[in-house]
A and B are shown apart, each in its own frame.
Chain A
Amino acid sequence: MNDSIVSLVYLAAAVLFVLGIKGLTKPKTAVRGNTLSATGMLVAVVITLLDRNIISYEYIVAGMITGGVLGGLMATRVQMTSMPQMVALLNGCGGGASLGLASASYFLAMEGSGYTSDIMGTLAVSFVMITVLIGAVTMSGSLVAFAKLQELISGQGIGFSGMKFLNAAIFIASIAILVLLCMNPANSPLFWTLVALAILLGLTLVLPIGGADMPVVIALLNSYSGIAAAAAGFILGNTVLIVTGSLVGASGLILTNIMCVAMNRSLTNVLFGVMAEGSEAIDADEVYGGKVKSAQAEEISMILETARRVVIVPGFGMAMAQAQHAVRELADVMEARGIEVEYAIHPVAGRMPGHMNVLLAEAEVPYDKMVEMDQINPTFDQTDVAIVIGANDVTNPMAREDKGSPIYGMPILNVDKANTVVVIKRSMSPGFAGLPNPLFAMDNCLMVFGDGKKAVIDITANLDLA
């Protein structure tokens, strides 16, 4: 196959990827966008399979069948609540693929004529080593993230206070070895040391990060997997790898930033496992002090009867209680009575960017009812009832008012501005931030204690009878 034709086909594939991502800017065109992007992938892979340098096909076929079957099974079986784990695993595979590809190209060069000792040769080696480093960190880091989210290991941060010095030491050692390898590429034991150190670095980077920060980590690893692919593109001089790798790298970085802003955490703090400094421990009894009112389903449905506008504020607790469908049925009953219903989605309501939207979409909630924080916040003034289900920290008014609070400055949903706030919650236990929530003690707040799904079904049943 003529090289220019191959390059042109790669260009076409890159265009399809860009159009595919563009399709994702609207829910209506998103499916078509994904199909376009998949077509680009097919075209790129098929043209590569026709490459004249490919002599043996048995490893390729075996690998594609194994990966295809595994990927297909995972994609069709995964629960929507487990989507963060799935994406973490896919990120890990992306990093692993770049690592495998870079290692293969290194040994292929070693077995052949080796790398030249001029600047081009040194650059070629450095691309290989950079890909190895990023790919291996992405792979092992993603596996740790997967294990944490799947609860195979503790979701809490694991590590000791000096962990960042260890990480810095491993990182510096890796860079030193990388430089040594650029000067003497033939030293393959050194190469394996680099692989081992990079894998270790991925572990020690992600292990100390706590469960609440996982959305940031997943987005960041997503970015790394893209950058690893772009670096691999420099090894092979393959433009489609460079273009798509950098697109994915940019995407991951943007999402990382969105998540950091939504949690009021700087990226450095997340990466080094630093929690915001709390002035002093806040006593929950002092905050609640007998001011918390609890209510039964009947009372709630009576309040809903006279409401004109209701906003539902879902958190991951709702998904844990498998209450999405019940919530949507409640919304249906309310809408049938002429009540305006919307869902307020905090950026970190789920466990990864946009996760809550997917969980609600699965329960057939229309996407135009899911309203972002910035749009819905000004409307709480005109809201009769806000129903908070399985969410806690993202509604804590301390983030807005209490300058000494560790979550001060975090953007929250201003549910306390609504006429009545109904909080459906198992108990008074604190959320990820470990703080009491003064919202629960407010005059306009009613607590419904119990299983989220059962509580919602009870409210729906009562409202339906009314």
Chain B
Amino acid sequence: MELLIMQLALFVLSLFLGVELITKVPPTLHTPLMSGTNAISGITLVGAVLAAGAGEASTLVHILGFAAVVMATLNVIGGYLVTNRMLAMFKRRD
């Protein structure tokens, strides 16, 4: 229970940190911000990997885990690459 309270505290504090950070991002970069944070939310890959690789589990669990790994990886790779592509365009003229 105490661990849970700590996690809840972490969640709330991160929300505030998020608000502080994001409000400083200029509107020019809002699209890359969205695709970039999107890639970060692909961190679910960490959990998906644990589910897909579980030893003693049925095929159903493995298939669900596999689907999660596919979608999370797509999110991560697609998100970072497309963000990088956009940001490179903003840098070009320097």
Contact = CB atoms under 8 A, between A and B. Distances in A.
Interface in A204-241: 218-219, 222, 225-226, 228-230, 232-241
B24 to A, nearest CB: 4
Given A30-B32, A59-B66, A247-B21, A71 B27 contact: no
B57 to A, nearest CB: 6
Contact of A364 (B45, B56, B82, B93): B93
Nearest to B54: A108
Nearest to A26: B26
Interface residues of A, number: 116
B43 A93 contact: no
Given A31-B91, A63-B70, A352-B31, A71 B76 contact: yes
A151 B45 CA distance: 30
B87 A45 contact: no
A97 B45 contact: yes
Contacts of B16: 250
Contact of A41 (B34, B37, B40, B78): B40
Secondary structure at the B interface, as helix, strand, loop or mixed, is: helix
Given A75-B82, A93-B71, A100-B65, A24 B29 contact: yes
B32 A24 contact: yes
User: Quick one: which of A103, A112, A372 has the most chain B CB within 10 A?
Assistant: A103
Contacts, number: 389
Given A18-B17, A255-B30, A366-B93, A34 B83 contact: yes
Contact of B28 (A107, A111, A370): A370
Tell me what chain A mostly uses at the interface: helix, strand, loop, or mixed: helix
13 contacts: A25-B26, A25-B29, A30-B90, A30-B91, A75-B78, A107-B57, A108-B51, A112-B56, A235-B47, A238-B47, A250-B16, A252-B37, A353-B33
Given A229-B43, A245-B41, A372-B27, 15 more contacts: A17-B40, A18-B17, A18-B21, A24-B36, A28-B94, A55-B53, A59-B69, A67-B71, A74-B82, A83-B35, A240-B43, A247-B18, A251-B22, A258-B27, A352-B34
Interface of B: 1, 3-4, 7, 10-12, 14-19, 21-58, 60-62, 64-94
Interface of A: 13, 17-18, 20-22, 24-28, 30-31, 33-35, 37-38, 41, 44-45, 48-49, 51, 53-57, 59-60, 62-64, 66-68, 70-72, 74-76, 78, 80, 83, 86-87, 90-91, 93-94, 96-101, 103-105, 107-108, 111-112, 119-120, 123, 218-219, 222, 225-226, 228-230, 232-252, 254-255, 258, 345, 347, 350, 352-355, 357-358, 361-362, 364, 366-367, 370, 372
- CB-based closest 5 A-B pairs: A250-B18, A67-B73, A354-B30, A63-B69, A55-B55
